[in-house]
Amino acid sequence: MDFNDTTEEAKFRAEARAFLEANLTPKSSDKERLQRKLTPAEYLKAAKAYQAKKAENGFAGITWAKEQGGRGLPPIYSVIFNQEEAKFDAPSAPFSIGLGMCVPTVIAFADEATKDRYVAKALRGDEIWCQLFSEPGAGSDVAASKTKAVRDGDDWVINGQKVWTTGAQFSDFGIVLVRTNPDVEKHKGLTMFIVDMKQAGVDVRPIHQASGGRDFNEVYFTDVRVPDKNRLGDPGQGWGVALVTLMNERLAVGGSYGPDYKEIFEFAKGINAPSGDGPLIQDEAFRQKLADWIVRAEGYKLAKFRTMTALSKGQTPGPESSIGKVINANQMMDIGNTAIEALDHYGIINDGDLAPLEGAFHQSYMFAPGLRIAGGTDEILKNIIAERVLGLPQDVRVDKGVAFKDLPSGR
């Protein structure tokens, strides 16, 4: 047992570190504040420039095959780069879904001409991609998608609505899961397409979140024409294509967000305990909770080291990585909530100039409910652990053997 890189890994890490130092500034709260002051357009420009530099220097598509412009390295190298990149203020967010989920799906299912058209530009950051799966009536049950595509000559015509689409407002292309045959079973009538997000009939509207921000969108499709050559997989095979995309999602959404035990530990030194007798950090009830947070945060971090070890040995991690988001989202909620309550009446103030950590605990409190839902709800992730890791049977299915158009769908 050791925590050291292999010689090759250490060499790569040093190379990554040198690249990042030459192109980015290390993380600090001041810098982060500046980052937030960039306009969305400025941020996007910086992100595209950074992505182009990554591509030039061989840090884009680290695990992708060389013929796709990648570096053909095992997944461990991608993890190493991400670890190093996380120490910097890297404007990489606009590309995470496209390069993490959408374009790998394109590579897996598209013909050579289509790949030639899209892959390199995506890798260089010239074009940004989004993923259009969820619908108002198809969240956890995403295979219940109703947005439909009807064949018309060499084209398909799409009508319907997608929701919770990250980055749709600045995306050039998306992969969209649509119903092409309502007369067969739910999972058998879906097809996946590449869609041009800038064309007429695609209407992107930001969602005003409960947390106040606007990080996601609704996307309406009205008579949007897609050429048949943009189809990924055969008609009716869309669910299998979607599973390939979703396999990557749980890995993508597993990171930790917001203040964790180290931050609330520092915070507790300067707050009065409920007893009024000394600081909160001396309060026994608080210390017991803090210990629980430590073991969960450390456990999650160390579980990732075990995953890295498996990757380093060339093994593929399975659905067990689903545990990360279940742990993190709930811990984020709990820590935000505890910090706010510890502030007593003052805890209601979330003005960044007045609240501790510029309001980060309040942000956790308001964003954690969304994180418990995004990218697979706690409940769906637990189903995945139960069914795919522990091998428990599927729930009784009322949609087996019934045409999609005949399924009850509520309102």
Partner 1 sequence: MNFDFSDDQKSLKDEARRFLADKAGAKVTRRVLDDAAVSYDDGLWRAVAEMGWLGAAIPEEHGGLGLGRLELCVLAEELGRAVAPIPFSSTVYFFAEALMLAGSDAQKAAVLPKVAAGEVIGCFALSEGPGAPSASSIQAKFDGATLNGVKIPVTDGDCASHAVVVAKEGAGISLVLVDLNQAGVTRTTLKTLDPTRGHAKLEFKNAKAERIGAAGQGWDLAEAVLDRAAVLLAFEQVGGSQACLEMATAYAKERYAFSRQIGSFQAIKHKLADMYVSIEVARSNAYYGAWALSTEAAEMPFAAAASRVAASDAYYLCAKENIQTHGGMGFTWDVDCHLFFRRAKLLAVQAGAPAVWKEKLVKRLEQRNAA
Q: In the complex with partner 1, which residue's Cβ is closer, 50 or 300?
A: 300
Dihedral of CA 268/274/279/283: which sign? negative
Q: Per CB under 8 A, does 273 bind partner 1?
A: no
Site string for partner 1, 132-151 (x = CB under 8 A): --------------------
Rounded Cα–Cα distance for residues 224 and 117 (Å): 20
Q: Between helices 284-312 and 323-342, what is the axis angle to 10°?
A: 160
**CA of residue 222 relative to chain centroid, distance:** 27
Rounded Cα–Cα distance for residues 330 and 334 (Å): 6
Q: Per CB under 8 A, does 398 bind partner 1?
A: no
Amino acid at 403: A
Residues 195-206: b if buried by 16+ CB within 10 A, e if exposed:
bbbeeeebebee
Please confirm, yes or no, whether 249 is among the known catalytic residues: yes
Q: Per CB under 8 A, does 379 bind partner 1?
A: yes
Where does this chain touch partner 1 (CB under 8 A) — which range of 102-110, 149-157, 354-362, 378-386?
A: 378-386
Q: Per CB under 8 A, does 305 bind partner 1?
A: yes
Q: In the complex with partner 1, which residue's Cβ is closer, 6 or 222?
A: 6
- Of 14, 243, 392, 407, the one binding partner 1 by CB under 8 A: 392
Taking CB under 8 A as the criterion, which residues in 310-339 touch partner 1? Answer: 310, 312, 320, 323, 326-327
Would you give the DSSP letter of residue 215? Answer: -
Q: In the complex with partner 1, which residue's Cβ is closer, 242 or 290?
A: 290
Give the chain's length.
411
Tokens of 117: 């058209």
Residues 6+ apart with CB under 8 A from 352: 358, 359
Q: In the complex with partner 1, which residue's Cβ is closer, 96 or 383?
A: 383
Rounded Cα–Cα distance for residues 372 and 381 (Å): 10
Site string for partner 1, 274-303 (x = CB under 8 A): -------x--x--xx-xxx-xxx-xxxxxx
Annotated catalytic residue, options 185, 249, 263, 387: 249
> Are β-strands 173-179 and 190-196 bridged in parallel, bridged antiparallel, or unpaired?
antiparallel
Q: In the complex with partner 1, which residue's Cβ is closer, 2 or 30?
A: 2
Q: Per CB under 8 A, does 49 bind partner 1?
A: no
Give the residue numbers marked as catalytic. 249
Name the residues that contact partner 1, by CB under 8 A: 1-5, 9, 76, 265, 281, 284, 287-288, 290-292, 294-296, 298-303, 305-306, 308-310, 312, 320, 323, 326-327, 379, 381-383, 385-387, 389-396
